[in-house]
Structure 1
Amino acid sequence: MIQALWNKKTFQRIFLNEIVNTLEIHNRVIVDIGGGDKTSSYHMLLSQKQNQFISVDMTKNCDYKIDLETEALPFETNSVEVVFCFNVLEHIFNYQHLLDEIYRILKKDAQLYIYVPFLFHKHAHPNDYFRFSDTALVKLLENRNFDIDDISINYGIGKNIFQNLFWIIHTKKLFFVGNALTIILGVTLHFFDVMLNFFNVTHTINQNYILGVYVKARKGEM
């Protein structure tokens, strides 16, 4: 964790990387919605398992540039085995269209991996529209005939405090002082969450401070 904090990774990114590192995905072609130029940490982690990424995004530096709000994904129906959609849905106003398109291109029982932020500052790329809770995301997917295989919630009062302080620190460009301060705050507030979780009542409250939601789903029957 300390190395990740020094490298300016937030608890959002640390959480996502830890999940990706456990995924048993090998020798697959992964359609990465919002994958940009494929330089995120998870690209490196899964490329080591002989996976190939195809990035579909609204930016120039990707394999297929399309309007995710309105255009069809550039793949045949029932042709894709794995889709990633990390930190994307909050930026898509017409997210129903995107979810329908993901369902269309996936093969039967093929896998969709989603991560969305929840308690997170406004971040426009180019727009920031929504926040999805775990119950909302599950409902949206089940309504589109996805079966939920796994759900994991990134939570903590301390992590939320850190998340906001992180952006203040690095917006000020404090460089090495900022990195050291990030580690001190990150470790302290992580320990704060660990201590809170020893107490049942506080643990329940702590769980309500959700940073983000991860869901693994499978394409089910229509």
Structure 2
Amino acid sequence: MNNQKIIKDQFIDLKVENLPISYYIIRKSLLSAVSELKPIIKGKVLDLACGLMPYKEYLMNDSVEEYIGVDLEPTEYHNLEKPDFYWDGQKIPFEAETFDFVIATEFLEHYFDTSSILKEIQRVLKPGGTFFFTVPNVWPLHEVPYDYHRFTPYALSEHFKIANFSKSDIKFLGGRNYHLALSLAIWYDNYWSESRKKVIKPFFNYIVNTLVKKDKKQNFANNQMFSGLYGFATK
């Protein structure tokens, strides 16, 4: 199996039997968010902190002139896919107003100074350019110790204003049912023995998938729960 097939199976052609249930659920919501980007992406694209660049082939179309992945010095991700450029985690290695789109999936929670990195992203975007992002809310600590934030939509909105984006549109990756389904799946994947999992797996998968199917992404309000956020910010 070639590397691109492995990446596609893990992020695009999702099957519950091929992934831990928590990964299946979160990646299902991420793919749904990226699907909103697919019809509008164009020009020169930067995938920041790109990892495996899991959505590159999915997003490519005749309107995309160039797709560039930038990441930190080699990590385990790069055994399957190497970025086009490395960066120092501070300054994006391109001139101002270079890109039409910058995408960063599940990245902002790992950057302590949010306003600083958003200003740097804003710098390399062309006027009117778009930043697409996703961030988790329900997810265990990961890539420790570099896991710094779980954002509310209001915090992100203020960060975009500080970074001089002209507007932002922030949405739920999943609502309260998705929040519960993902919480249960994380608990199941990480804290249950394999023998106990086998006993309840069919019933558990039914409950979790029913929650996901009946999820509703309601408006931001008091007492609302959500699994994560995604959206678009315009320079």
Give the alignment's TM-score, normalised by structure 1. Answer: 0.77
Relative to structure 1, the CA distance from residue 152 to residue 6 in structure 2 (aligned partners, 3 Å threshold; closer, same or farther) is farther
**Aligned partner (choices 225, 229, 233) of residue 209 of structure 1:** 225
Q: How does 1:1-222 map to 2 (within 5 A)?
A: 4-8=15-19, 9-23=23-37, 24-25=39-40, 27-38=42-53, 40=54, 42-47=55-60, 51=64, 52-60=66-74, 61=78, 62-68=83-89, 71-124=90-143, 127-171=146-190, 180=202, 183-191=205-213, 193=215, 208-219=224-235
Aligned residues: percent identity? 25
2:61 & 2:144 partners in 1: Cα distance? 28
Contact 2:115 2:162 in 1 (8 A): no
Shift in Å, 1:94: 2.4
Contact 1:87 1:115 in 2 (8 A): yes
Contact 2:119 2:164 in 1 (8 A): no
Task: Tell which deviates more after alignment, 21-30 or 177-186.
Answer: 177-186
Shift in Å, 1:104: 0.9
Relative to structure 1, the CA distance from residue 26 to residue 153 in structure 2 (aligned partners, 3 Å threshold; closer, same or farther) is closer
Task: Tell which deviates more after alignment, 123-132 or 85-94.
Answer: 123-132
Shift in Å, 1:216: 0.6
The residue aligned with 1:200 is none
Shift in Å, 1:7: 4.3
2:71 & 2:50 partners in 1: Cα distance? 6
1:6 & 1:96 partners in 2: Cα distance? 39
Shift in Å, 1:27: 4.9
| RMSD between superposed Cα atoms in Å | 3.3
Letter in 2 for 1:215: G
Letter in 2 for 1:83: V
Letter in 2 for 1:85: A
**What CA deviation, in whole Å up to 9, does each residue of 1:54-90 have, x standing for no partner?**
111224132222232xx31011111111100111111
Runs (5+) with no aligned partner, structure 2: 1-12
1:19 & 1:104 partners in 2: Cα distance? 24
2:205 & 2:105 partners in 1: Cα distance? 25
1:125 & 1:65 partners in 2: Cα distance? 21
Give the alignment's TM-score, normalised by structure 2. Answer: 0.73
Contact 2:139 2:186 in 1 (8 A): no
Letter in 2 for 1:34: A
Letter in 2 for 1:65: Y
Letter in 2 for 1:128: D
Contact 2:111 2:148 in 1 (8 A): yes
